[in-house]
Structure 1
């Protein structure tokens, strides 16, 4: 049985008050809260075996290296990568995306084409614009529909022999839409194009199998998966990682250095210059262990309950407008109340202890499509409850009354 009250005891922050009210945390799409076991692993590293990795013969260094590489294997197993060196450890999704964009600078030619989608986060748009400016490649965009879904027929029309890279998120951070990424990948492969999937918003709810998906790259951030900030990963097929040049130069990523020439290390070290966030990577592995102990099928089923419960409650409020009504969604609801600015709603309900996100959610093209300045976004996690949703609804009604 899924015991949410037992789970909530693992998250110390859920006991605190905000503005004198019990915290109701509905900003999980921005970052998840953290279980005590993950935080304990960080303290354990710095207290008991803090040392740099891959470089020392002494005991502490070997212990730190073993723990770090064990975490890499946990990440490999979680995403079902074929080889551990196909997992590159980064500072997060944005770092990962920029690593691939930088690498493609040497692979693209003038008038080659890169495809992104209208549902992307800014970090999934700007690096590709910069790449196209450097190379002369052309950026094309898969359009969206009013329901917040991608127009797959239009995507098919965009694909051509000039298409070299397709980039799309697995789940929209602004709307919660689950994109049909397997179909998108297969269609791109018909034209021999590589595909990079941004899994930042998907991985807290869905356990992807990168071999089954057959994507060239898949990336996510630990902090949305009950892990620490400043840590992420990118999976890349070995053949593609070998094609890309190193993203940064420095220690760890070299084989031999002379003033005449430097040769680079084998995977994964080729892309991991400098001293990494050792404690954070170890904690990432612990966070994955924690979430897998609960079970991603159980997490998805429970969060789906919360999504439907909250959606039905919100629709009872007069002048409520929901954005992103795709049939396939994760537990994210973006909405406005007609005539009221989303920032004003967010500010008032914060006084009642409720944390939501307001604004364009780093997805301004989506807001431009709907011709709105932004939305209120409530995003749920497996440690949230229906009782919290009831408190949220009461707070919204109070805010609406005050602002109307």
Structure 2
């Protein structure tokens, strides 16, 4: 059966046509056609994104907001146009609520240090889930140590599902100021019930930050419908370039927060007697920004918006189901993360092998996966494992590539 025959006929998603947009997928690695299954780490880039970045450097390269010449005007128009594209993508109320950062990690740090340093007091509580990425744990630990607040984990069960009863009990204990959770677990693929989380947190008087790094590539996000206080994501997880990310925040919160960094562009007036800061979003954007990165992200969003998102989501769901069936039918393979609601992440162990060794042997056959604790060490410790092999799929992956993964696994196991 070919890829089209395996797919749910209701998806109407032409994966072969989409694959033509991604040049990197058509290469050989270690003498084998590349099977790229590390999309939770970073997604590949369509030609439209590569061209947008290249065109900026070829024709429009200039600093933004400053120059009185044509290149500066064109660069500024594209840069600020990219901000508007992101605002529309997230359905943010205003472009001023979209801040450029270096990625989700810096976005979390910005909120933790700018909001947390001024708002947190000794005895205040910050809740994060036990399955969080380190970048949604460590910044909160740092600010908690500086302010006397404390970070507490929301329990996660053996399937990788958040314990909502325990979460609500923690809220009732009082003094929870911030709840910061991932929309989707990068290590397990679990989709958290963030609408329920946000509502419960707000009823308890807490703010909510959502790490959306693993969500935005899989479905549209509407921050107004979610009613979250902060939402962050990284461009490179959304088929865009590395080194640039986004923080959305409620206007009243961002206006009350002090700048995270000082320097050029974020000021209104500077003297040795004191400094006044610029309006949103610029007071949080010190220094020359990643102009090409913003333009590349806008191109990535335009590309994604040009797809049939519903068909792509349905296709990924069928692809994951196929991979899970293959895993369950393979002797010695144990899935890690079996929540009822997941995105296309297959995290697993193979009896008698270490994940790192297995990843090396898969790479020798052209299959790219991620191994280790996936920057989610606490949940791996809870499960008593050193890490997993993680195959993460995107809409440009195929059923044939899933077959290649399991064929490569069979050959690797023969080595052991």
TM-score, normalised with respect to structure 2: 0.96
* Aligned equivalents of 1:295, 1:125: Cα separation in 2: 35
Listed as ranges, the matches of 1:129-148 within 5 Å are 129-148=141-160
* Range with bigger deviation, 198-207 or 156-165: 156-165
* Aligned equivalents of 1:169, 1:206: Cα separation in 2: 15
**Given that residues 140 and 158 in structure 1 are in contact (C-alpha distance below 8 angstroms), is that contact kept between their aligned partners in structure 2?**
no
**Given that residues 327 and 334 in structure 2 are in contact (C-alpha distance below 8 angstroms), is that contact kept between their aligned partners in structure 1?**
no
What corresponds to 2:277 in structure 1?
Answer: 264
* Aligned equivalents of 1:314, 1:399: Cα separation in 2: 15
Query: Per-residue CA shift, 1:326-366, capped at 9, x if unaligned?
Result: 11100001000122111111111110000000000000011
The DSSP-based 3-state class of the residue aligned with 1:208 is: coil
2:170 equivalent to 1:151: no
Match of 1:200 among 189, 209, 213: 213
Displacement after TM superposition at 1:61 (Å): 0.8
What corresponds to 2:242 in structure 1?
Answer: 229
What corresponds to 2:105 in structure 1?
Answer: 94
**Given that residues 178 and 207 in structure 2 are in contact (C-alpha distance below 8 angstroms), is that contact kept between their aligned partners in structure 1?**
yes
- Give ranges in structure 2 of 5+ residues lacking alignment: 1-11
What corresponds to 1:18 in structure 2?
Answer: 29
Query: Per-residue CA shift, 1:110-140, capped at 9, x if unaligned?
Result: 1111111101000111000001100000111
What corresponds to 2:404 in structure 1?
Answer: 391
* Aligned equivalents of 1:345, 1:49: Cα separation in 2: 46
Work out the number of aligned pairs and report it: 403
* Aligned equivalents of 1:295, 1:234: Cα separation in 2: 26
2:217 equivalent to 1:185: no
* Aligned equivalents of 2:257, 2:346: Cα separation in 1: 38
- Give ranges in structure 1 of 5+ residues lacking alignment: none
* Aligned equivalents of 2:44, 2:27: Cα separation in 1: 12
* Aligned equivalents of 2:369, 2:390: Cα separation in 1: 6
* Aligned equivalents of 1:243, 1:115: Cα separation in 2: 22
TM-score, normalised with respect to structure 1: 0.99
What corresponds to 2:391 in structure 1?
Answer: 378
* Aligned equivalents of 1:113, 1:366: Cα separation in 2: 20
Displacement after TM superposition at 1:57 (Å): 2.1
Listed as ranges, the matches of 1:69-148 within 5 Å are 69-103=80-114, 104-148=116-160
* Aligned equivalents of 1:339, 1:387: Cα separation in 2: 26
* Aligned equivalents of 2:257, 2:334: Cα separation in 1: 45
* Aligned equivalents of 2:352, 2:413: Cα separation in 1: 10
2:87 equivalent to 1:42: no
Listed as ranges, the matches of 1:300-379 within 5 Å are 300-379=313-392
**Given that residues 100 and 244 in structure 2 are in contact (C-alpha distance below 8 angstroms), is that contact kept between their aligned partners in structure 1?**
yes
Displacement after TM superposition at 1:402 (Å): 1.6
Displacement after TM superposition at 1:230 (Å): 0.3
Displacement after TM superposition at 1:296 (Å): 2.3
**Given that residues 317 and 397 in structure 1 are in contact (C-alpha distance below 8 angstroms), is that contact kept between their aligned partners in structure 2?**
no
Moved over 4 A (4+): none
Displacement after TM superposition at 1:292 (Å): 1.1
Query: Per-residue CA shift, 1:211-236, capped at 9, x if unaligned?
Result: 00000000000001100000100100
**Given that residues 303 and 382 in structure 1 are in contact (C-alpha distance below 8 angstroms), is that contact kept between their aligned partners in structure 2?**
yes
* Aligned equivalents of 1:369, 1:143: Cα separation in 2: 10
